[in-house]
Amino acid sequence: MRKDGDFLFTSESVSEGHPDKVADRISDTVLDAYLAADPESRVACETLVTTNRIVLAGEVRGPASVTSEGLIEAARQAVKDIGYDQEGFSWRNAEAANYLHAQSADIAVGVDSAGDKDEGAGDQGIMFGYASNETDTLMPAPLYYAHRILHEIRDLRRAGDPRAAGLQPDAKSQVTLHYSNGRPVKATSVVISTQHDAGVNQEELRARLGGIVRDVLPEGWMPEEKEFYVNPTGIFVIGGPDGDCGLTGRKIIVDTYGGAAPHGGGAFSGKDPTKVDRSAAYACRYLAKNVVAAGLADRCTIQLSYAIGVSHPLSLYVDLDGTGKDVDEARLGTILREVMDLTPRGIRKHLRLNRPIYAETAAYGHFGRKPDAARDNFTWEQADLVDSLRSALKR
């Protein structure tokens, strides 16, 4: 994403009822079940959902108290919470199968700590984190508003609000913003495709959704009427896993920065925090957000890299995109290593990741979410390193 001049940039979001997000939610529900039983459980769960069928697969290492029957029931409850009780996909009677099996011993020997060997990374890979001060959440604005539109529709649907009458769980949004001098100033187009009951009047639906979008966007940002698109095909009754197969990990750009920043090689959902695909990506976002929150730069991209079985990161890269406030990027990289232990164990301890906190991350983005102190969730969104970073830079 270009960061200066005048340009248009687009990001999309998908709702919790999108087939791929249903799969992500179930995979993270499985992860939470294992972590609740044993915080040291190892999980790499993939889920497939299609017409009245749920399939779990992958590798696990955890207590026998987590049973196949219990996992299948947890998957059904996740589908129920999303809102699927349709003829083609229902939490009540979808056929469910569990093909999870024991984690490879070859992987375990590289990851487990033993003797003088610290816990190693669960796989090789590169991870990125990003923050920008163009929104209060320090997230890119196009993705921020795409998420917010669908989250608002979700909340209204669950509350039985008349504005969401006749809507079903599956939905997508797309927001294009006009940037002037590198800052977002208005929306030039908004697209919403949302599953609905048969017989819903599309013009009435368009008017209701238009009011929701207008409330979400800043004042004066609503695009021209001809650039507001609702269900462009004209009808969207058959949706969810009945309309399209869903798989874990197919919406990685929705999960991160909407294409405004790089994404590493792996998806997040269904993976326990020894997998650096997830935990190190959270650490990268945490560090980048704290850099921007500290006022050290307007934008920050951070990359980490790991090798399977090796505890310390192979590299840490910092890019302030020319917006640094008298900060040397090389020195900042050194300081970031000082203020946070970036070994897999260090990340997990610092961000308190070995807990059942993941089901709610599966939709509406893993980043830019508001931490809840009572539940101690989304810890990677806290800006609690600001003072440490400022003090270290004064040395």
Structural domains in the chain, sorted by start: 7-13+141-239 (3.30.300.10), 125-133+276-393 (3.30.300.10)
* Cα(171)–Cα(189) distance, integer angstroms: 17
pTM: 0.95
Candidates 274, 290, 220; CA nearest to 111 is 274
What pLDDT sits at residue 208?
97
267 is in an annotated binding site: yes
* Cα(204)–Cα(163) distance, integer angstroms: 10
What pLDDT sits at residue 5?
83
394 is in an annotated binding site: no
What pLDDT sits at residue 117?
46
Residue at token pair 């889920």 = 47
275 is in an annotated binding site: yes
101 is in an annotated binding site: no
103 is in an annotated binding site: yes
Residue at token pair 């000082």 = 338
- Predicted confidence pLDDT, tens digits, the chain (395 residues): 667 789 999 999 999 999 999 999 999 999 999 999 999 999 999 999 999 999 999 999 999 999 999 999 999 999 999 999 999 999 999 999 999 999 876 555 556 554 544 576 777 899 999 999 999 999 999 999 999 999 999 999 999 999 999 999 999 999 999 999 999 999 999 999 999 999 999 999 999 999 999 999 999 999 999 999 999 999 999 999 999 999 999 999 999 999 999 999 899 999 999 999 999 999 999 999 999 999 999 999 999 999 988 889 999 999 999 999 989 999 999 999 999 999 999 999 999 999 999 999 999 999 999 999 999 999 999 999 999 999 999 87
242 is in an annotated binding site: no
What pLDDT sits at residue 54?
98
What pLDDT sits at residue 124?
86
What pLDDT sits at residue 279?
96
* Cα(213)–Cα(145) distance, integer angstroms: 9
117 is in an annotated binding site: no
40 is in an annotated binding site: no
325 is in an annotated binding site: no
CA 352, 354, 355, 360 torsion: positive or negative?
positive
250 is in an annotated binding site: yes
* Cα(74)–Cα(358) distance, integer angstroms: 14
